[in-house]
Amino acid sequence: MKRLITAIALIWMAAPALAMSDDIVKVKSAQDVAATMDALEAAVTGAGATVFARVDHAAGAASVDMALDPAQLLIFGNPKLGTPAIQDDALAGLYLPLRVLVYRDGAGQVWLAYEDPKAMLSGLGGVAPDAGYIAKMTGALGKLTGKASGM
């Protein structure tokens, strides 16, 4: 009985961490970080969205004499898609514009990662779970990262 209670307690304590990881969508890439990010940026601009910033985390680390595996973040969006979310709840502006991280993990695999829009916006009271823009954001992120992955 004591073992069962311990096992249940461990599962319960791990549950929040497991749920959080379910909110992050990861897409495997066939290319290195720079090529994947170039392809993502081209896909985003080709789709008519605006690239607001491209952040090179590894370059930032190198600027202070620290090492970091290659990792870049693309911040982009389409005001026609994001504005209705922010109109529904101003706090959506904390999550928008959208962001995709391209990084190389410890095993050398390159990934594109982003937060699932439904999970990202679900805690906001003014955003309905079935809001049309959530499905559009989800579809766009899937298409853009799929295209950039080279797979």
Alpha helices in 23-131 (DSSP H): 33-46, 57-62, 79-88, 117-121
pTM for this one?
0.84
Q: Report d(CA 61, CA 66) in Å as an integer.
A: 5
pLDDT tens-digit readout, 84-119:
999 999 999 999 999 999 999 999 999 999 999 999
pLDDT tens-digit readout, 11-70:
333 333 333 457 999 999 999 999 999 999 999 999 999 999 999 999 999 999 999 999
Q: Report d(CA 118, CA 58) in Å as an integer.
A: 29
Would you say how long the chain is, in residues? 151
Q: Report d(CA 95, CA 103) in Å as an integer.
A: 20
H or E element, residue 134: helix 132-149
